[in-house]
Amino acid sequence: MKNFTLTLLTLLLASSFIYAGGLVTNTNQSTAWTRMLVRDASIDIDAVFFNPAGLTKLKDGFHISLSNQSIFQKQTITSGYPYLNDPEYVGNITAPLFPSVYMAYKTGRWAFSLGFNPYGGGGGASFDRGLPMIEKPIAGAAAQFAPYGVTGYSADIAFEGTSVYYGLQGGVSFAISDAISVFAGARYVMATNTYQGHLKDVSFQTAEGTVRADAFMNNVAQVAYEGAAQLSGYATMMEPYLDTYGNFTFDQVIAATEGDPNLQSQVIALRDGLTELTSQDAGNMTLSSGHDTFLGYAAGYTAQGNQLSVGSQLMADQEADVTQTGNAITPIVGLNLAFLDDDLIISAKYEFFTKMDLTNETPEGKGFVTGFDPETGQPIEMFPDGGKTNADIPAFLSLGIRYQISDKVNVQGGYHTYFDKQAGWAKDENGVELIDRNFTEYGAGVEYYVTKNFLLSAGYLAAITGVNDQYQSDLDYSLSTTTLGLGGAIAFNDTFKLQFGGFYTMYNSETVTIDDIVGTPENPVHLIYGETYDKATWGLSLGLDISIHKKKK
């Protein structure tokens, strides 16, 4: 009988809530980004995040940027697992508040900056039917119990999760010359994930009606235990005769006991019972072998009963209520090169690899039981209190270029690479590589000044994931994308500028082949099927830039 292990959603990374960026990092960090998608060579206030070395190009004074994005994502998973009631699972992720706050003070060759934003995650997910990983063990169990009269199943499954990695960034920019500026700073990352969900009312449908799965399995376990006791009783019944007839076959003993009808009838019954049990003629089996066979089958029935008993506990109602927290510091350096009276800007930013672990805070009984320790009988939880999960933040390199073609038009280009292969989660617990190559992005954007104080912009961004099929699962998957952005800005005067924009991200759906092993450990069966992953994301944003600077006389 198969081990029944139910698993609730465990998002080891914030990646299921990522909107634009790598597997962990958000790069959609200003309203100006939403309308243009490429800000790596920015010399405006959002350069605090995108190009901090370029802040030396601001006018002397104090600069502030306040923006918020409302972002919505739909995740769709279609599973080919053959026993599911419904193969499609939909998760809705919302982030109505996705703020970015930047401040910079520029004086002479120096610029001092602060930034605050959701560096990773930044939303909440709701899966009203759970996920395939949660439901497949239930569906598989119902199929496995078909010989016992089970015709279907039902369950109340739900999951909600939130994830946000807030980043507080500070640093100093310095202009070595009019052409060369540098930046040094750091970001303090504060990560919080929450998971709440339940698995309730797991039931099997039978000809007699609906019955709770745990009760059904306990009944089958009781039958197994009774069968084990009966077989052990047969073995005990044989023990007085083993010294005399142990090396005799059943047929030989039957022939030798014609003068003892009672013993002969017992041996005939034992022989016929073994024949039925093993589906082989037991007449040529010795009594010693028959005795051991009865005990072996009894042990198997007992083990089967134990598995069913444990499985029934896993089918009982369960809840999860987990908070994961962690923090880390990311060093950041930057370079800005300016040519042609600042009409041509070339930039680079490098964020260093950041080691981070998340620690579970789990109330008693809310960690979701996935099994039991065979020695102590203690429950094994998926989210044990105090347990740690690796959540390394990969190093990140961005390169940008900006060219002012005319007074009315400037174009920007950008390239990003995320060094995912260095992260602790780039391999699974068995050392299998999950990342074939680093995640990359490239894009282009254009701004057109309709008037001196009003501009429109558009952008294009392509992202190419580097994960392999071993990484992909309904818990966490990464897809290559194409994003389009559109928007503009209105400068009311030299102090206030309103930013507005929106973007839409199209994902390349992917189908992976899954090889599940079902059946018993002695007779495993490979169940091969496909699972398709898809997403769609869109967002709208408003922002206000404020510049308090010295006016030219």
pLDDT digit of tens for each residue in the chain (553 aa)?
333 333 333 333 334 445 566 788 888 999 999 999 999 999 999 999 999 999 999 999 999 999 999 999 888 999 999 999 999 988 888 888 899 999 999 999 999 999 999 988 766 667 777 788 878 888 988 988 888 899 999 988 877 778 888 999 999 999 999 999 999 999 999 999 888 888 889 999 998 899 999 999 999 999 999 999 999 999 999 999 899 989 999 999 999 988 888 889 999 999 999 999 998 998 999 999 999 999 999 999 998 888 888 888 888 888 888 899 999 999 999 999 999 999 999 999 999 999 999 999 999 888 877 777 767 777 888 888 888 888 899 999 999 999 999 999 999 999 999 999 888 888 888 888 889 999 999 999 999 999 999 999 999 999 999 998 888 887 778 899 999 999 999 999 999 999 999 999 999 999 999 888 776 555 677 889 999 999 999 999 999 999 997 655 4
> Do 26 and 120 touch, CB atoms closer than 8 A?
yes
- The backbone torsions φ and ψ at residue 208, rounded to the nearest 5 degrees and listed phi first, read -85, -5
Binning the chain into helix, strand and coil, the percentages to the nearest 5 are 25, 50, 30
pTM for this predicted structure: 0.83
Nearest to 274 by CA among 265, 283, 266: 283
Nearest to 32 by CA among 536, 446, 538: 446
pLDDT at residue 248, as a whole number: 92
289 alpha carbon, distance to own chain's centre: 52
> Do 255 and 245 touch, CB atoms closer than 8 A?
no
Angle in degrees, CA 301, 304, 308, rounded to 5: 140
Task: Provide the H-helix boundaries in 63-212.
Answer: 132-144
Report the DSSP beta bridge partners of residue 117. 167
Question: Would you list the DSSP string of 488-549?
Answer: EEEE-SSSEEEEEEEEEEEE--EEEEEEEEEE-SSSEEEEEEEEEEEEEEEEEEEEEEEEEE
Query: How far apart are alpha carbons 33 and 97 in whole angstroms?
Result: 16
> Do 545 and 496 touch, CB atoms closer than 8 A?
yes
| CB neighbourhood size of 304 (10 A) | 19
CA dihedral 46, 50, 54, 60 (to 10 degrees): 20
pLDDT at residue 3, as a whole number: 34
Query: How far apart are alpha carbons 116 and 46 in whole angstroms?
Result: 11
Query: How far apart are alpha carbons 193 and 208 in whole angstroms?
Result: 44
The domains located in the chain, with CATH, are 14-205+324-549 (2.40.160.60), 216-306 (no CATH)
- The backbone torsions φ and ψ at residue 282, rounded to the nearest 5 degrees and listed phi first, read -90, 5
pLDDT at residue 318, as a whole number: 85
Nearest to 319 by CA among 10, 8, 4, 5: 8
Residue 55 is encoded by which pair of tokens?
């802040």
SS3 readout for 316-383: CCEEEEEEEEEEEEEEEEEEEEEECCCCEEEEEEEECCECCEEEEECCCCCECEEEECCCCCCEEECC
Query: How far apart are alpha carbons 529 and 114 in whole angstroms?
Result: 50
Which residue is listed with tokens 């070339």? 346
Q: What is the DSSP letter of 5?
A: -
Q: What is the DSSP letter of 421?
A: G
* SS3 label, residue 111: strand
pLDDT at residue 19, as a whole number: 58
